[in-house]
Amino acid sequence: MISTISSVLFSNGILSLMKVYTDTSVFGGVFDEEFVDPSKKYFAQADSGKFKVVVSAVVKAEIASAPEMVRDLFYKVAAKADIAEVTQEVLALREAYLSAGVVTQRSTDDATHVALATISGCQMIVSWNFKHIVHFEKIPKYNAVNALNGYSSINIFSPPQVIEYDDL
């Protein structure tokens, strides 16, 4: 769970909000009966300033074929979000994940999400993708590749793991 205190980081003498990369699945989760409550709470807490949402051109491309309500939510959130750009550095890290076998070529976009979050300096990724991103075997592998390539580790969670609950 992210608390108000832990969602603010102290870096170079400046207080700043924690940067949280939000993948495509969280936007769709707002409109999926199974994931609706924590997904809505996640975006409400981001909107209230608990943390800074980061999205990317990859999220935008994946959202393009989603239902209109999902696209509308994305554009509303993206208007206030940081946008992580796909660069040569991102593509090189993605290739390192693929070469290490963290995921297969069929999951290239998932590896790109993790590389985008890492390169853009996010402290965590929030996703509902339990097969290729939020998975107990994948997370340490992504972080091992990050370490081997001189990057920081990244935390990876699902929305229920990062939202604040009223009853605590």
Query: Total structural domains in the chain?
Result: 1
Q: What pTM, to 2 d.p., does this model score?
A: 0.90
Among residues 129, 117, 139, 107, the alpha carbon closest in space to that of 24 is found at 129
Is a pLDDT exceeding 60 seen at residue 11? no
Percent with pLDDT over 90 in the chain: 87
Domain that holds residue 93: 8-161
23: left (phi > 0), else alpha (psi -120 to 50), else beta?
beta
What pLDDT was estimated at residue 106? 97
Q: How confident is the model at residue 1 (pLDDT cuts 50, 70, 90)?
A: very low
In a domain, 20, yes or no: yes
Please state whether beta strands 124-126 and 155-157 pair in parallel, antiparallel, or not at all (unpaired).
parallel
For 60-119, write each residue's pLDDT tens digit: 999 999 999 999 999 999 999 999 999 999 999 999 999 999 999 999 999 999 999 999
In a domain, 104, yes or no: yes
The 3-state DSSP composition of the chain as helix, strand, coil percent (nearest 5) reads: 45, 15, 40
In a domain, 78, yes or no: yes
- Give the CATH number, domain containing residue 122: 3.40.50.1010
In a domain, 1, yes or no: no
In a domain, 168, yes or no: no
Cα-based torsion angle of the residue sequence 144, 149, 154, 158 in order, rounded to the nearest 10 degrees: -70
Is a pLDDT exceeding 80 seen at residue 3? no
In a domain, 152, yes or no: yes
In a domain, 102, yes or no: yes
In a domain, 166, yes or no: no
